[in-house]
Structure 1
């Protein structure tokens, strides 16, 4: 495998990336700040789960992987010959050491502790000795592997509710289910008749597969699957869609039921409280790494 390294201005990052991936058959393209670790370094962050505010930095380094040196050389020759690529410069072409990519990827995902007895464990790991309950979940296309604070806080809330509260979870709604991890967590803690919904068909497929792998029963589908009232409604999305969904989500919470919301930054808590005020009194229940978990208990 060979790596082609190019330098491009911000205005050309997207064009160069598209050309490498769509026309020149690069296996992958990554973009870095060419001025990283210098006084000219620029911070470029987007909210988790959302696109970055810009495609690249003022001076960006693009690294494209090719299976063979000839393919990388041809790609560089064709790209740099384009009239629009006058400001693109080749920085290098080098072999990439062979590695066991599967093993390397797996090493980045270790078991995740939710409570001392409740863990998320990838299939290639043995469960920790202290684990009495586990969710088997591998990283995939859908959001929710347990490594993000919002997922951990939701699962921790589920796992720490008293038995008498869990006994009332005769129906559960996981809205924006992603990998299905919250729905599975609820099922492992006495949740019944669970509906897990998402706008992404890939998330629905992922949820169904993960539920089967964990031996739990649930209904996964697109949002129209959700109907009626639920004693427990879970939604780990992001603040903006959560605000828009306020009437819908609150309309699904049964009398005496719980609403559990995540994907909210600490600075957004007041906005969510105001958005949900017509229906319930949201409060911050948990905090972790700049994120908050907000919950509301509806009147019986």
Structure 2
């Protein structure tokens, strides 16, 4: 394979990317040309909110082609297009053949939640000190244990007394990692729900691989009261869901919320004030875990 590397201003990225796709590129990727520098720009915001920027000021576009001839032909076609004005061809280089599966796997190592509770991909052996293990590989649904919000939720679960979890609702379950973690720490009646069918299927498969019992489905499966309600989503949907989530928490039960940035703490407290008194229970890398006892 051969890779074309281009530099493009913001207003040309979409047209150049579409042209590369039409010229039979195997893949096209776009990244901030100023990443890891003082000029790096934030681009993505929360769902339902406008992005901080429409695009990076300078973008590096990389496209893979099956042969050098195809790559050079594509570069030649682009060079004479009016929309290519202001863009630069940085180079065409061969891409060595690699074991892409092994390379991808190497990026995911075992993750420690506590000293004896670990998330371990199936291609790794669990550490000797791990007495509780969740076997989980990267997939289409969110939740591999590497993100701070997931780790804080699992740490909270690990700190609960044996039997305290009882009936658990994992709302927005993604990969099912929190529901599986609850099962590993004694929960016996677990509902894991998500609006995404792929997440529900992922949860079912991951629960089976970890030999735990739970019920996975769409949000209308959540019925009645739960001793623990977990929701690792994002601040905006968490605010909208405040009355629904709190209505599912049994008296004396726990509400556990994640996906919240430190700067969003006060707005979450305000949104939940009519139903529960949220407090920050954990922090990591600019994210917070908020909990309440109802």
What's the TM-score, normalizing by structure 1? 0.91
Moved more, 190-199 or 134-143: 190-199
1:236/1:38 CA distance change after superposition, 3 Å: closer
CA–CA distance in 1 between the matches of 2:251 and 2:189? 17
1:281-296 equivalences under 5 Å are: 281-296=277-292
1:85-130 residue CA offsets vs partner (Å, 9 max, x unmatched):
3333322111012222222211111111111111000000000000
Inter-partner Cα distance in structure 2 for 1:118 and 1:42: 36
Alignment of 1:88-237 (within 5 A): 88-166=87-165, 169=166, 171-237=167-233
Name whichever of 137-146 and 191-200 sits farther off.
191-200
- Name the structure 2 match of 1:5: 5
Distance 1:68 1:53 in 2: 38
CA contact (8 A) 1:172 1:195 kept: yes
2:42 is aligned with 1:44? yes
In structure 2, relative to structure 1, the CA distance for the partners of 1:38 and 1:257 (3 Å cut) is: closer
* Partner secondary structure for residue 143 of structure 2: coil
Q: Which is worse superposed, 123-132 or 202-211? A: 202-211
1:254 aligns with 2:255: no
Q: 1:192 to 1:20 in 2, by over 3 A?
A: farther
Contact 1:31 1:56 in 2 (8 A): no
- Tell me which stretches of 4 or more aligned residues in structure 1 moved more than 4 Å: 35-39, 47-52
Q: CA RMSD in A?
A: 2.1
Structure 1 window deviating more from structure 2 (71-80 vs 103-112): it is 71-80
Other-structure match for 2:56: 57
CA spacing shift, 1:78–1:198, aligned 2, 3 Å? farther
- Measured after TM superposition, the shift of residue 157 of structure 1 is 0.5
Deviations 1:196-223 (A, max 9, x none): 1111111111111111111111111121
Q: Name the stretch that deviates more: 80-89 or 130-139.
A: 80-89
Cα contact 2:110–2:126 (8 A) shared by 1: yes
Aligned twin of 2:17: 17
What is the TM-score normalised by the length of structure 2? 0.92
Q: Is the 8 A contact 1:14 1:55 kept in 2?
A: no
* Cα distance in 2, alignment partners of residues 176 and 19 from structure 1: 37
Shift of 1:81: 4.2
**Alignment match of 2:272 (pick from 271, 276, 280):** 276
Contact kept in structure 1, 2:15 and 2:83, CA below 8 Å: no
The residue number in structure 2 matching 1:34 is 33
Measured after TM superposition, the shift of residue 266 of structure 1 is: 0.8
Tell me if 1:264 matches 2:263. Answer: no
Unaligned runs of 5+ in 2: none
Identify if the C-alpha distance between structure 1 residues 285 and 34 changes in structure 2 by more than 3 Å, giving closer, same or farther: closer
Matched positions, count: 293
Moved more, 241-250 or 190-199: 190-199
CA contact (8 A) 1:259 1:297 kept: yes
Is 74-83 or 266-275 further displaced after alignment? 74-83
Q: Who is 2:65 aligned against?
A: 66
Counterpart Cα distance in 2 of 1:57 and 1:45:
7
Q: Distance in 1 between matches of 2:5 and 2:75?
A: 9
